[in-house]
Amino acid sequence: MADKVIAVADHRYRASAPPIPARLDAPTGVLLDTLQRPLRDLRISVTDRCNFRCSYCMPKEVFDRDYAFLPQSSLLTFEEIVRVAGLFVAHGVRKIRLTGGEPLLRRDLDRLVAMLAALRGADGTHLDLTLTTNGSVLERKAVALKAAGLGRVTVSLDAIDDAIFRRMNDADFPVADVLRGIDAAERAGFGHIKVNMVVKRGTNDGQILPMARHFRGRDIALRFIEYMDVGATNGWRMDEVLPSSQVVERIADEFALVPLPPSTPGETAARWRYAEAGVAGEIGTISSVTQAFCRDCNRARLSTEGKLFLCLFASRGHDLRALVRGGASDAEIAAAIGLVWQQRGDRYSELRSAAGGAAPAGERRVEMHYIGG
């Protein structure tokens, strides 16, 4: 009998509390790492659980009914999340994205949204508060999320064909329910919704054009994401990566496209609009494998249990929960966060590209469902 792989239990604890500097410099709203990248984006995972079993994120053979997810007591409370998020905002974070697992499985998430929506940036402005969801329960939660102050929503959708979508999510979940969730989000007042499709060559790349046809003409940004080697359980192979350039070629063969500039500094997606006058919609590609964007990465990730990770492909984190629950003051935690970011030098995707597509050697990487995508 083959040994069973235990994926992330050890990763949950590969973190130590960051040191508190002797000198507690107050945040200035500008924090740079060793590559002069500012801290601008914080992604917060609110749960490690998901009701899908997508092979590129949570393959069913590993994350089965016997898998031990985090107990409730390990998760940061809403109050702890808001406290830590406020310190990141003081350092210059302008955008907060709630992720999972599937974030809408976290009970009373709209209450957390309302608490985060009350935060203000270092210059007094409202934050860009967003959420990424698989859309499975969005239909019944969109109105409450909008009322609570959520600004934008991104829906993960890997196929428009129902049979392919059910195979991709490996939970026999129908695509129609996700599409109704997107419709509900539009009715609730969410504008410029993003729909993300992870493209896996030979699995769902035949859905590129059907997805483009379906969403063309709506105020929706359809973004195609190269299949990435996140974590250690998805069996990633370079020959299953379809380069974004080929995605764009396929779409451009049917619909003329016009390039768009980045919407914000550090934008990960290359963007196009449809050339035909009056046709709404946008196409984007996220090319972490073939066109690494590490040099502009301004994101930090906070795990479900309060570990700070500086890269989607990280192996180790920094235990902020230990400081929060250990009695550290806001000034001490803020100073610790500042020191961690100032020492950051992560550039995994650039190193992968330099190695010809081979994953850099090192410790096994943390799983995507644990820190969000």
Residue 149 belongs to a domain: yes
Range of the domain at 190: 11-21+34-371
User: Rounded to two decimals, what is the model's pTM?
Assistant: 0.90
Q: What's the confidence (pLDDT) of residue 9? A: 38
Residue 75 belongs to a domain: yes
Q: What's the confidence (pLDDT) of residue 27? A: 96
The segments of the chain whose pLDDT lies below 70 read: 1-14, 229-236, 348-373
Biggest CA–CA distance in the chain, Å, is 61
Q: What's the confidence (pLDDT) of residue 13? A: 45
Residue 280 belongs to a domain: yes
Residue 1 belongs to a domain: no
State the DSSP string of 212-281: HHHHTTSSEEEEEEE----SSSS---GGGB--HHHHHHHHHTTS-EEEE--SSTT--EEEEEESSTT---
Q: What's the confidence (pLDDT) of residue 151? A: 98
- What phi and psi, each to the nearest 5 degrees, are found at residue 92? 120, 0
Q: What is the pLDDT of residues 174-212, one digit of tens each?
A: 999 999 999 999 999 999 999 999 999 999 999 999 999
Residue 154 belongs to a domain: yes
Q: What's the confidence (pLDDT) of residue 361? A: 56
Residue 26 belongs to a domain: no
Residue 29 belongs to a domain: no
Residue 3 belongs to a domain: no
Q: How many domains does the chain have?
A: 1
Which value, in Å, is the radius of gyration of the alpha carbons in the chain? 20
CATH number, residue 235: 3.20.20.70
